Amino acid sequence: MIIQSSLSAQDRLREAGIRVTVPRVSILEFLMKDKTHPTCEAIYDAVKNNVDTLSLASVYNVTEKLYEAGLVRRLLSPDGEYHYDGVYGFHGHFFCNKCNSIFDIKCDKNIEYEELKGAQVQTVSFSTYGICPKCN
Amino acid sequence: MIIQSSLSAQDRLREAGIRVTVPRVSILEFLMKDKTHPTCEAIYDAVKNNVDTLSLASVYNVTEKLYEAGLVRRLLSPDGEYHYDGVYGFHGHFFCNKCNSIFDIKCDKNIEYEELKGAQVQTVSFSTYGICPKCN
DNA sequence: ATATAATTTGTAATAATTCTAAATTATATT
DNA sequence: AATATAATTTAGAATTATTACAAATTATAT
């Protein structure tokens, strides 16, 4: 059993078989420690301080690539914006309709549903929406 | 116990306390019988045949209002587009990554999670993504 | 060190959605 | 039944997140 959480961003990129570049390492490192589930815009604002040549287009490219490689998760907030999550493994999310914060919910990956017989399930998403404890 | 499924579109609008208009009745009637989880564009294409003055802007206005009134459900497909669902009650959805079809999954509304203590849960969403039985 | 294929970058283009203001319509009231 | 008024619809413009494009740069294999 590989303890994936001990791997560096560079090692994760190598393990996934994609090129190791400055924007990819910087963005993946940021997502691995950030817990706010940022958008590309927010990632760009945070990471451009370290990588001065970084462009917003690259953030879109890199997050797409990291997502395809299975290194980060992609969420849709209720208003249809993409958010990224560097945390491994299945979990649900709660979206606060007041402060727009997003937080993680531990939950089981139960997909033993009759309607899914014959389907090739690739991703399972469990999300709740409402007013978070801080705003409530 | 009210058997809600026997109510007409007009009665549902009245019961929700919002004005009964031609676009609202037509769109709600369409969503009550359609099982494809259409976008506003698709609703517009289908309903404009019956309501010749209908505009796309009205479809956006009406679906938003129906959603706020709790008469329809709103889904986000993996590419971030809004889809509407006239079916009452909680259920999950499966999004096929090949043909982009969306179908319903019966499942329990289990939201007894530690992380949600103190939160006011308004909506629960359970979704799976992959290749549907037809495409598989 | 070099070749080359992938990646990054800045900008332009796209497309779903929202905004705006005028025209129309549903409902309550007389 | 006619009228007032507040809500809704409409058409088109504006917005905004995301994608497309083509040139410059860079990672990796040789």
Question: What residues of A are in contact with residue B35 (Cβ under 8 Å)?
Answer: none
**Min distance A6 CA to chain B CA atoms (Å):** 25
- Candidates A27, A17, A104, A113; CA nearest to A64 is A27
Q: What are phi and psi of A22, to 5 degrees?
A: -60, -50
- What per-residue confidence (pLDDT) applies to A15? 96
The answer on pLDDT for A11 being more than 60 is yes
This prediction has a pTM of 0.91
Cβ of residue A111 near strand C, that is under 7 Å?
no
Contact A122 B113 (CB under 8 A): no
Q: Which domains does chain B have, with CATH numbers?
A: 4-73 (1.10.10.10), 92-130 (no CATH)
Report percent pLDDT > 70 for chain B. 96
Cβ of residue B21 near strand C, that is under 7 Å?
yes
The residue behind tokens 């802007």 is B57
C1’ C20 / CA A10, Å? 50
pLDDT digits (tens, 9 = 90+) for B49-67: 999 999 999 999 999 999 9
The answer on pLDDT for A109 being more than 70 is yes
Highest average pLDDT, of A67-81, A87-101, B104-118, comes from A67-81
Q: What are phi and psi of A42, to 5 degrees?
A: -70, -40
Question: B41, B49 in Cβ contact below 8 A?
Answer: no
> How many beta carbons lie within 10 A of that of residue A83, not counting itself?
20
- Candidates A123, A51, A108, A1; CA nearest to B97 is A123
Measuring from the CA of residue B19 to each C1' atom, give the nucleotide at the shortest distance: C26
CB contact A105 to B (< 8 Å) = yes
Long-range contacts formed by A60-67: CB under 8 A, 24+ apart:
A62/A23, A62/A24, A62/A27, A63/A27, A65/A18, A65/A24, A66/A24, A66/A27, A66/A28, A66/A31
